[in-house]
Amino acid sequence: MENTLIEISDMCKIYNPGENEVRALDGVDLQICENEFVAIIGQSGSGKSTLMNMLGCLDVPTSGKYLLHNQDVSDLEDDELSDVRNREIGFIFQGFNLIQNMTAYENVELPLIYRGVGKKERAELSLKSLEKVGLAHRMDHKPAQMSGGQQQRVAIARAIAQAPPIILADEPTGNLDSNSTKEIMQILRELHKEGRTVIIITHDNEIAKQADRVIRISDGKIIEDTKITTICS
């Protein structure tokens, strides 16, 4: 399929191989197309976090294949995986993962420095991203001076600064109150409307049902895959 972004075939991830092995992923097949809004839902120990690590190129499978933009990333070396992550994926984490002694602007700018983006372009991209999440007026504030919802919006700005095609959000509203949760989900929906592929990892049915496709995982296997809208051609 011409617009297939992610293709996983018979993926297994085994920890402690042998007598006491744990099959965190057990023969997973999954296809995600460009511009899908997907929720992967499961309880603690279901394998959803392991699957997120695979999708995000943070780890490699024990067996099986992972094609990302038609590139086989199943057995790349760490530095190669890092290049893929930087190019393809914007991460959003439950704990925000902001650097406490840096301002909102500096937090957003930092990954761009690592990627070798020039100073003028960094400034433009960082400010544009903060404007997109409604926080340009807080750009000089440090995380401790912001609410949880504002910190997560800074984290989203950091994730989208270099316009990666994939947004991978791990329990992005897990530490937030209901109003902040609505704000974050609205921002993710807007990013999806702009053409990004958004993948949310969650244990929360209320969050999952806001996506266009819900994939349920249990004991390392996909047990349900419900599409509300069809993107793949």
What's the pLDDT tens digit per position in 106-132?
Answer: 999 999 998 889 999 999 999 999 999
Q: CA 53, CA 186: separation in Å to the nearest integer?
A: 25
How high is the pLDDT of residue 94?
85
Q: Above 70 in pLDDT, residue 232?
A: no
Percent of the chain with pLDDT over 90: 76
**CA distances from residue 197 to 141, 150, 166, 168, 228 in whole angstroms, order as listed:** 30, 23, 5, 8, 15
- Give the SS3 label for residue 140: coil
Least-confidence region, from 8-12, 30-34, 113-117, 148-152:
113-117
Give yes or no for residue 205 having a pLDDT over 70: yes
Cα dihedral angle (169, 170, 172, 176), rounded to 10 degrees?
Answer: 180
pTM over 0.85: yes
Residue 95's pLDDT is 85
- Report the pLDDT value the prediction gives residue 162, as an integer from 0 to 100: 86
For the segment 168-185, the average pLDDT, to the nearest whole number, is 91
pLDDT surpassing 90 at residue 90: yes
- Domain ranges in the chain are 4-227
pLDDT score for 229: 65
Total count of residues recorded for the chain = 233
Q: Contact 191/159 with Cβ under 8 angstroms?
A: no
**What is the structure's pLDDT at 2?**
53
Across the chain, what does the average pLDDT equal?
Answer: 92
CA distances from residue 230 to 24, 30, 111, 212 in whole angstroms, order as listed:
29, 15, 34, 8
1-5, 44-48, 55-59: segment of lowest average pLDDT? 1-5
Q: Is the pLDDT of residue 230 over 80?
A: no
159 Cβ contact list (under 8 Å, min separation 6)? 90, 91, 92, 167
Q: State residue 18's pLDDT score.
A: 80
- The CATH classification number of 4-227 equals 3.40.50.300
What is the mean pLDDT of the segment spanning 185-198?
A: 93
Mean pLDDT of 196-208: 94
Mean pLDDT to the nearest integer, 127-154: 94
pLDDT per residue as tens digits for the range 28-45: 999 999 999 999 999 988
Q: Which carries the bigger pLDDT value, residue 147 or residue 228? A: 147
Distance from first CA to last CA of the chain, Å, rounded? 7
pLDDT of residue 86: 85
Residue with tokens 């301002």: 103
Residue 1: per-residue pLDDT: 46
